[in-house]
Structure 1
Amino acid sequence: MTREISLLDPSGKPVRFEGKTLINAATTPWQGFALEVRAIQGDGENPACYNPHPLLAFCVRGHVKSAMTTGHRTRHTEIRSGGLCIFEQGYEVDRVTWSGHVEEMIALEIRPETLRDLMPEGHGELHLQTHLSTTDATLTSLAIAMRDEVERGCTSGRLHAQGLSMALVSYLQHRYGGAGNAKRPPGRLSQADLRKVYDWVMQHLGEDFGIDELAAELHMSAVHFTRLFRASTGATPYRYVMEQRVRHALSLLEGRLSLAEIAHAVGFSSQAHFTQVFKQLVGTTPARARLG
């Protein structure tokens, strides 16, 4: 289970986050990066602290001004709706003050244990450059997609959580990476590898498996596998698996199983999620498809 986001004082003790917690992924089945959603009102202050892991903060709705003091230098920032901050691992401040009203702030922490599961070759390290006030529509859309999935109760399963997390970290490496990030491996999967992927997916279609398990079948990290798979097929592993589930569901609709039983048989967390994905890919609902 995902742990709460970390912020520590110089002695290594946790520093309390200000504001009201709206969502905490640590209390859900979410298996991506640590995620919290908070609301902040009025003025506030934190003493000396640092983030032990790379940290992202997205202002979805609101406006806040802050001052971060380190030594004799104070950096002033202003973030409005759509803005974000990127903090490299170990970013330290002696004092932070802020003032404003933020209805929704998404915080994401890139924890090494989650990163190692996705890309073992990186040893759980992600080297980022700090940006205290910027905008990035791609990063924001990924963070909101994660928040939405957590808010729905993680109905799309491990595959979706890992896919979003890998998309996030791959984009961060490309756009904001510092020294130490590995280069992207070139190449494509062979037809034999693609056949292995298909066979494995069909054998485990009814299970809530992750991209890491699928990648392990080819002895690859999840990130490496996803890049090669997309280069080879034009689709993400998540979409590919959804397509196989819907394709198999179409054949089951000809039988006597109920829609709920079919949803379970092909690996959807609920009939509602099955219907949603089915309609996206087929253009109609399973019930209407069954009627012909």
Structure 2
Amino acid sequence: MSFHPRMMAAIHGFTPLSDSSTFSADGLAVDCWHVRNSAHAGGHYVSRHPRFVIMRDGYRIPLSETRDGDLQHCAACFVPAGMEVWSKIAQPGTLRHMDIHVSQDRLHGLMGRPPETIAPFFLRDLRTISPLVQMLADPDRPEPLREKLADCIILELLNQRSTQREIVSDTHVVGRLQGYVRQNLDRKIGVDDMAADVGLSRSQLNRVMRRTSGLSPYRWVLAQRIEHAKAQLASGQSFAEVALHSGFADQAHFNRVFKSLTGQVPSDWMNEPTQSVSAPILQDRTS
């Protein structure tokens, strides 16, 4: 028997690139979407049935349980029946995702307990289910196989919800972000971009930066740029070259930031008997 879920949505900034691919079975419906999004695309969604949302191609979508709540950058999530979910995507691009709608009765049968006891959750990684998602999205697969694949994906997501709630250590977050800054010295680095790279909300990222450095994320990035600049100055590059290679608008901007963070202008720092770099040195990009 086919299953016809109902979902209300108020969204903007999305353009379908192809017709959605839909598969349904008893108490189960799977929709596969491929869309283009503009900058700041988003909106909110609510379904009368429980729903699993799965991003594809390694994408993590920013979602929140409330309109003004912290955005969780997730690869997959579970949304209980009747719960609103809000999204806002900063950068334009394309994305593919899958919605698995499931009836209360079918989910109860899979889990062995009432769906009402399952809290919403947001997962940062798909881990082992990516191949299963790819097979489920293939319309040429036999329908009985696709139905079993959907059940397996649901069960695995529910299994992963506890293991992925582990708090990532501050050391891991800072180390990953240092690599992110290193690879993006030549462009503006936004707080949302940083949060998305480590799978945290803006407020969570701000707390990590305050704990580890006493700086806001924005000031922390400037400090990383200055440490990179110090290494370049020590190697004999000119002030103008250092400013350019460290991601500053011009030499005057570089001088102002350098003094605000170190208490000295670059020339005074260079004239000291010894120059030390207190943070890990960020080397230039090699490509």
The TM-score bracket by the shorter chain reads 0.3 to 0.5
Q: Which has the larger radius of gyration?
A: 2
Instruction: Please report the TM-score for the alignment, with normalisation by the length of structure 2.
Output: 0.36
